[in-house]
Amino acid sequence: MGYSESSEESEGYLLRQKEAQTQEIVVGLVSTYHKNVQAGIVRFGKSYRRFAKIHSGNVPIHIFHPYQRSVVLYYPDAQFVTKHGRRYVFEILDSELKDQNLIIADVIQACLAPNTSKVFFIVPREEDQDKVKGIAVTIVARLQELGVAMKEIPRTVAVFYILRSEARTSESAMNVLKASAKDRGVTI
């Protein structure tokens, strides 16, 4: 009996160890570009007083089922919440650009998130804007055609780029956001 308990304990230990290694690998999959842009977005948001809360991918947005007690937890790369409760959602599309389904998932989740006023997709190259913009425009138009109330759809869905060379540090990414967001088709 003592042998089986220690065997079970060692199996539990091995499972916990394997789970911890898996989580480290998943965290390690985020590129340096992604980390720097995410940190730059947070720094950018902190420079504005109109935002009551600023989160960097660690606080979920709850997307509730309208009739049942089920919920989808959506973790955007960054989100700002204004003093009036309106949300600005940021998604950094880096590795997702290789798979259209991942882009579609991010666009749909961002559009379904409650109290979302603006959604910003950030890509690493200017050429990537058209691909994401086409998907976003199609999904938003289809939601409108299906009768989703305009107040439920974000009033701004924008795509802009921050070059990899411009995102060497979080400070440089923040400076790009401050200096040229308007030049790149976005008003925050």
Residue-wise pLDDT for 114-160, tens only, equals 999 999 999 999 899 989 999 999 999 999 999 988 888 898 888 88
Q: Give kind and range of the element (H or E) at residue 88.
A: strand 87-92
Sign of the C-alpha dihedral computed for residues 104, 106, 109 and 112 taken in this order? negative
Report which of residues 55 and 18 the model is more confident about: 55
What amino acid occupies position 78?
A
Report which of residues 145 and 182 the model is more confident about: 145
Q: Which whole number is the average pLDDT over 34-46? A: 93
Q: What is the pLDDT of residue 184?
A: 54
Domain ranges of the chain: 1-30, 31-180
Write the CB contacts of 172 (distance below 8 Å, at least 6 apart in sequence).
36, 40, 166
Query: Which of 4-18, 30-44, 100-114 is predicted least confidently?
Result: 4-18
Q: What is the pLDDT of residue 24?
A: 36
Report which of residues 98 and 7 the model is more confident about: 98
pTM (two decimals): 0.79
